[in-house]
Structure 1
Amino acid sequence: MKKTLRNSLIKLVTPFILLVVLCFQYTDAGDGYLSTALLKLLPILWLILCLKVNNINIINNSKHYYNYYYTKRIGWALVASLAGDLCLVWPENYWCLTSGILCFSVGHLYYIWALGFEPMGLQIFLSYFLPLIVANAIVLSFSLKGPLLILVLVYTLLIMTMLWRSLVLYQHNRLHRHRHQSNHLMASCVLTGALLFTLSDACLSLELFQAPDLLTPRNYRLIVLTTYYLAQLLFTVSTLLVSQSGNGGGGGSGSGGLVVSTYPNRVIPRLFNKNKNKKY
């Protein structure tokens, strides 16, 4: 199994790195918007293709059936992010900017759906994330007004929720890492990806709204794209770790989340899972 996982990671990561390097080389050259957009989309397109192949393999193995839903939701999050990437090639255009934020908001909804809400971990949200959301809203209110401010605040709430769910998932699986090492690795990838995604969006917010002169556009682009691509790669790697572990994942119809159960060697959906005994 370890050899299979290693081969899968090599097949996923190697072309991805080459596409990212190609993207950076081209965007530094500044040869044109349309070509820049196409090259910017290639790394995410590759991840979507890999997820599609991984989903087919999961479907062909009934033991991994629940993993299908986790992988599918991560895949739709990548599709929404792909649309957001295309829109944000032209951030100076108001409609492209707002459309990009909406697309990424949909992507974060899919990430949240994949991660689920059990265990809840409400105390973590109230203690750490709610103050961050309020502080960010106060800061943004000085530089944004009107509908754009509301849209950015909603987006901030979504990405903070995604980060919160990834932290709860990591803490929960860490308690069971002696029995479910692969699940702990998966949760570590998800949490690291969520942190990098948040850092990428924070830098993008500085560039677009708050401190555009703090760094050069090239340095901003380097930080934003590097953290963004790494985040999406880690989310994709998490689907490989779940499927290769032989555990269930991401929830059946009407369910969500990856939670270690009391049964050995299973990660099962437990949020509102009224159809868990349903025969597919």
Structure 2
Amino acid sequence: MSKIKKTVLAFQNIAQEPSLLNLILNDNEARKKEFLKKYPHRETLPQIRLSDLGEDFNETVDLCFLDGGSLPTDLALLKTLAKGKKNFFEIGTWRGESVWNVAKVIDDCTTFNLSKEEIITLGLNKKYAELHGIISKKNPDILHLEGNSKTFDFNGLNRKYDLIFIDGDHSYEMVKNDTEQIFRNLVHENSVVVWHDYAFNPEKIRYEVFMGILDGLPKGFHQNLYHVANSMCAVFIKGDFKTKPFETLQEPEFLFEVNLKIKK
């Protein structure tokens, strides 16, 4: 099919189904072009290694290997960062894998999510709504808060947190909102903040999320942002770290040893 015919067919399809235009506008390459107009000198974050964030990196994680979950390295990152921390807060519970794992290291853990009723009101599947927290609610010590991060009074919690995980709605608007809320209300001088889905996979940046992070974060803190190699996470952390440039096609530096065991 010629380019002209493809173009005509594309316009015909969009005319019949206008929502298809969103697929074009939300395409990652289109997002990248938009991103680079605003941040031409920051195409990616510098990378730091998991081994640079904790001595003798060696973590065991629980996960269910289902859709929308984290990589084993994402959860291992959270457990590594949790060491020595006193409390943890996350936006976006989903099944509760992340807070479940962190709660093995930190006793004081809080997870925040839309209520089941509000999820259903958005037109989402009832079963999907009911699956939120299905893992984390098995631990009675984990505090589950419900609300909408656009309107919730985070300042009313009257608390600051050592480790924070942002993993809610991944649209630009909500990543920006959640980042602003967290840094306005819940961080202290030495807080560490992690964003999930900064990348689609360890070698592909998700520019809609990346722009939401940068636009929501005070500019003076941009220098403290890193992409943790072999993960889908960005992290805000103070300190001096050895970094390496991001590459879309990376030669492995090492292998991870993974032992699988079914737990019931």
Q: Is TM (by shorter chain) over 0.5? A: no
Which structure carries more strand by proportion? Answer: 2
TM-score, normalised to structure 1, is 0.29
Q: Which has the higher contact order (CA 8 A, sep 6+)?
A: 1
Per residue, is there more helix in 1 or in 2?
Answer: 1
